[in-house]
């Protein structure tokens, strides 16, 4: 049992999309069991996400390890100040993070001379997109142009409702929705970086230290919900939850369920953090000059480095 610092105050979690474990943790009472309330808040971009994390409007964020590194190590990040953030639980391996293009574009090479959209040019998934396109012989700002279109939900909405850009990187079920609407899925992040940690739970060091009991309770509840999702006997209940989302018939729910549980693609079964998966993320930032100073990627992505903290998960594992 975790003793809450202030049980009347909800944990404000800024997320790009609601994963199946997030739904299960709330719907099945896992948060209630450990005495916490979690308030999911929709993120519009990684810039807004870390601005809110820095000024205390978010307690925890669902974000890329790359974003955490950008705001931790670079003074010139989009909000102009460093954020002392750390990852503390693995959430997913990218949720089929993949390049999606307009109908008629059948290969990456056909994006030459066209426009692609990212969250922000120096955000985590942007570097994955640059690498995918570079391996297809396309150079950023030479062979294609880049525009900012916000987080994955906002990019999806702009993609299907306008013609402002020709391709983008989508995940979290939005890529499958786009494919079902006639858009074309091309290469994925797993073609250039595998293993790859898509998002983790991150918070400021001060919040993790000052709200230790709350943070451990959050990890315990999310871990239990994730393990529940992977139980084959819960298949139908998972589908029911997925179908509660707008415009999600059973056939689409089956597709989303498969992705959420796919090994090395969907949710992290034990909410652990695999060093090599984090290292692969940061190597992409390093390759494209995304660090202002010398950052030892090997060191900061090793257990005991300053980018993530496994002690909360270890405490939960010891407690059973």
Helices (H), the chain: 20-27, 30-33, 46-54, 65-73, 124-135, 152-161, 174-180, 205-210, 212-229, 235-243, 250-261, 275-287, 297-300, 311-319
Cα 316 to Cα 243: distance, rounded to the nearest angstrom: 31
Res 122: pLDDT: 87
Res 43: pLDDT: 93
Report residue 136 as tokens: 């297809």
Q: Are 209 and 59 in contact (CB under 8 A)?
A: no
CA atoms 238, 241, 246, 248: torsion sign: positive
Q: Is the pLDDT of residue 189 over 60?
A: yes
Residue-range domains of the chain with CATH: 11-93+196-231+268-319 (3.40.190.10), 98-191 (3.40.190.10)
What is the mean predicted confidence (pLDDT) over 158-168? 96
Q: Is the pLDDT of residue 5 over 80?
A: no
Q: Is the pLDDT of residue 303 over 90?
A: yes
Residue in 45, 47, 78, 41 with CA at minimum distance from that of residue 60: 41
Res 1: pLDDT: 43
Q: Is the pLDDT of residue 16 over 80?
A: yes
Q: Is the pLDDT of residue 96 over 80?
A: yes
Res 198: pLDDT: 97
Cα 198 to Cα 268: distance, rounded to the nearest angstrom: 10
Cα 251 to Cα 243: distance, rounded to the nearest angstrom: 9
User: Mind listing the pLDDT tens digit for each residue in 123-144?
Assistant: 879 999 999 999 999 999 999 9
| pTM score above 0.75 | yes
What is the mean predicted confidence (pLDDT) over 183-202? 97
Q: Are 255 and 176 in contact (CB under 8 A)?
A: yes
Residue 53, C-beta contacts closer than 8 angstroms, at least 6 positions apart: 14, 61, 83, 85, 202, 203, 204
With cut-offs at 50, 70 and 90, classify the pLDDT of residue 3.
Answer: very low
Q: Is the pLDDT of residue 42 over 80?
A: yes
What is the mean predicted confidence (pLDDT) over 153-160? 95
CA 251 to chain centre: 24
Q: How large a percentage of the chain has pLDDT more than 70?
A: 98
Q: Is the pLDDT of residue 34 over 80?
A: yes
Strand partners, 184: 101
Cα 25 to Cα 229: distance, rounded to the nearest angstrom: 10
Number of Cβ atoms within 10 Å of the Cβ of 250: 11
Q: Is the pLDDT of residue 315 over 70?
A: yes
Q: Mean pLDDT, the chain, as a whole number?
A: 95
**106 burial level (CB within 10 Å; 0-12, 13-18, 19+):** exposed
What is the mean predicted confidence (pLDDT) over 64-87? 97
Res 2: pLDDT: 45
Res 8: pLDDT: 66
Residue 4 DSSP symbol: P
User: Mind listing the pLDDT tens digit for each residue in 248-301?
Assistant: 999 999 999 999 999 999 999 999 999 999 999 999 999 999 999 999 999 999
């Amino acid at each position: 049992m975790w003793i809450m610092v202030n049980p009347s105050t909800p944990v404000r979690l800024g997320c790009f999309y609601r994963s199946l474990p997030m739904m299960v943790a709330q719907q099945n009472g896992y948060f209630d069991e450990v005495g916490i309330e979690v308030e999911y808040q929709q993120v519009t971009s990684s810039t807004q996400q870390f601005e809110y994390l820095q000024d205390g409007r978010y307690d925890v964020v669902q974000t890329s390890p790359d974003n955490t590194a950008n705001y931790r190590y670079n003074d010139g990040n989009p909000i102009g100040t460093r954020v002392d953030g750390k990852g503390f639980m693995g959430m997913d391996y990218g949720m089929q993070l993949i390049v999606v293009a307009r109908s008629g574009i059948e290969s990456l090479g056909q994006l030459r001379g066209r426009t692609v959209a990212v969250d922000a040019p120096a955000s985590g998934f942007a570097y994955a997109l640059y690498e995918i396109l570079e391996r297809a012989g396309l150079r950023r700002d030479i062979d294609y142009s880049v525009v900012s279109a916000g987080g994955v939900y906002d990019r999806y909405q702009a993609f299907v409702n306008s013609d402002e850009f020709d391709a983008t990187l989508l995940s979290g079920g939005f890529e499958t929705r786009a494919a079902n609407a006639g858009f074309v899925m091309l290469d994925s992040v797993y073609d250039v970086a595998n293993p790859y940690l898509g998002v983790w739970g991150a918070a400021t060091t001060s919040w993790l230290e000052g709200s230790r009991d709350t943070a451990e309770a959050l990890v315990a509840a999310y871990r239990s919900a994730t393990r529940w999702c992977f139980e084959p006997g819960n298949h139908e209940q998972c589908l029911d939850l997925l179908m509660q989302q707008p415009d999600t018939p059973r056939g689409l729910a089956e597709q989303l369920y498969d992705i959420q549980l796919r090994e090395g693609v969907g949710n992290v079964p034990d909410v652990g953090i695999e060093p090599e998966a984090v290292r692969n993320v940061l190597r992409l930032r390093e390759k494209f000059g995304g660090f202002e100073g010398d950052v030892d990627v090997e060191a900061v992505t090793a257990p005991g480095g300053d980018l993530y903290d496994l002690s909360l998960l270890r405490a939960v594992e010891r407690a059973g």
